[in-house]
């Protein structure tokens, strides 16, 4: 005579499986996120190595953040300018030969902007336009390749680096506050906004939202604003490659050291943080803030 499980025994087994699943699924999710975080760190390091190889070919100068401003509009002139403008994303390609590395594995490209999925009738122009801008990794352009006159960038010499091991070069990024699911090719330095705002020639990126050009943590229900450096999701911080080529993870408080980020509000008179101790600041190349006030 064959023996069978009783209903109670089956229910007990099902309950045990359910309990184990509830315990293990979050662990698997955390392990998966950790793997993506490690892959992202490897990717940003590869981008940093491409920058260093570029410097070897161009007299130790950093890559340009962009060689022209991205025009907007539907006129042919605007479309041609958008199509011919080049950012560091394109300049790095001879040393990387892989556009896929520009998409953070933990974030992906959910709306297809990096690969041009949102292109309109001017498909070729918009695809290039999107790919040049919406990479998952942003450049410390304000100090390494300043954007003067809001037109084209100036590449600085890496020989000016005062502390290359503690100067940000690239970070995982997001498109400011209006489209956090996308990356952006430039990352704003914390505390830069109140210096550049009155400066006659230096320019800074923002998305039109109060506080989007700066960093701020004290925002009540608004949430933290870290201005195109992905310091909240999905890793709780940003993967960073430094000017000397090493890479490591840092949370927003660490990356904003030397500023009053922790107490700054997004809608104060300076729209966020201010630099309070330049000696501890991780974004300046030569140890000064001169390029911001130019």
pLDDT in tens, 155-196: 899 999 999 999 999 999 988 877 777 888 999 999 999 999
- 3-state SS assignment for residue 267: coil
The percentage of the chain sitting over the pLDDT mark of 70, rounded to a whole number, equals: 81
User: What integer pLDDT is reported at residue 79 of this predicted model?
Assistant: 55
Question: Count of domains in the chain?
Answer: 1
**Considering the domain boundaries, does residue 95 fall inside one?**
yes
Tens of pLDDT along 78-95? 555 555 668 899 899 999
Q: Are 231 and 252 in contact (CB under 8 A)?
A: yes
**Considering the domain boundaries, does residue 291 fall inside one?**
no
State how far Cα 195 lies from the chain centre. Answer: 21
Q: Please give the model's pTM, rounded to 2 decimal places.
A: 0.85
**Considering the domain boundaries, does residue 97 fall inside one?**
yes
pLDDT of 125 above 70: no
**Considering the domain boundaries, does residue 264 fall inside one?**
yes
* Phi-psi category of residue 27: left, alpha or beta, with phi > 0 → left and psi -120 to 50 → alpha: alpha
User: What integer pLDDT is reported at residue 11 of this predicted model?
Assistant: 78
**Considering the domain boundaries, does residue 76 fall inside one?**
yes
**Considering the domain boundaries, does residue 167 fall inside one?**
yes
Domain residue limits at 62 = 8-280
User: What integer pLDDT is reported at residue 39 of this predicted model?
Assistant: 92
Report the candidate in 187, 204, 223, 172 with the shortest Cα–Cα distance to residue 270. Answer: 204
**Considering the domain boundaries, does residue 290 fall inside one?**
no
pLDDT of 257 above 80: yes
**For the purposes of burial, counting CB atoms within 10 Å of the CB of 219, is it exposed (0-12), middle (13-18) or buried (19 or more)?**
middle
Answer with the residue of higher pLDDT: 38 or 32: 38
Please give the Cα distance from 52 to 49 (Å, whole number).
5
State how far Cα 34 lies from the chain centre. Answer: 18
**For the purposes of burial, counting CB atoms within 10 Å of the CB of 282, is it exposed (0-12), middle (13-18) or buried (19 or more)?**
buried
CB neighbour burial string for 117-130, b if at least 16 within 10 angstroms, e if fewer: eebeeeeebbbbbb
Give the lowest-confidence range in 14-18, 86-90, 140-144, 213-217: 14-18
Sign of torsion over alpha carbons 42, 44, 45, 51: positive
**Considering the domain boundaries, does residue 78 fall inside one?**
yes
């Amino acid at each position: 005579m064959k023996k069978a499980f009783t209903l109670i025994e089956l229910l007990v087994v099902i309950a045990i499986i359910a309990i184990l699943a509830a315990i293990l699924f979050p662990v698997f999710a955390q392990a998966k996120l950790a793997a993506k975080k490690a892959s992202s760190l490897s990717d940003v390091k590869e981008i940093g190595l491409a920058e260093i190889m570029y410097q070897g070919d161009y007299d130790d100068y950093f890559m340009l953040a962009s060689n022209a401003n991205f025009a907007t509009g539907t006129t042919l002139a605007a479309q041609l300018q958008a199509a011919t403008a080049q950012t560091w994303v394109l300049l790095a390609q001879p040393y990387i030969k892989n556009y896929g590395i520009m998409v953070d594995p933990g974030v992906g490209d959910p709306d297809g902007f990096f690969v041009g999925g949102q292109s309109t009738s001017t498909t070729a122009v918009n695809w290039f336009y999107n790919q040049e801008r919406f990479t998952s990794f942003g450049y410390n352009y304000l100090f390494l390749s300043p954007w003067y006159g809001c037109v084209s960038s100036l590449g600085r010499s890496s020989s000016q680096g005062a502390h290359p091991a503690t100067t940000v070069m690239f970070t995982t990024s997001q498109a400011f506050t209006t489209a956090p699911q996308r990356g952006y090719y430039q990352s704003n330095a914390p505390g830069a906004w109140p210096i550049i705002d009155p400066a006659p020639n230096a320019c800074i990126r923002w998305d039109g939202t109060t506080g989007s050009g700066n960093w701020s943590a004290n925002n009540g229900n608004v949430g933290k604003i870290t201005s195109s450096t992905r310091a909240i999701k999905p890793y709780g911080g940003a993967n960073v490659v430094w000017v000397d080529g090493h890479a490591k993870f840092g949370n927003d408080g660490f990356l904003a050291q030397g500023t009053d980020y922790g107490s700054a509000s997004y809608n104060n008179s300076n729209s966020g943080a201010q630099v309070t101790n330049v000696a501890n600041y991780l974004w300046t190349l030569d140890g000064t803030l001169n390029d911001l006030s130019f």
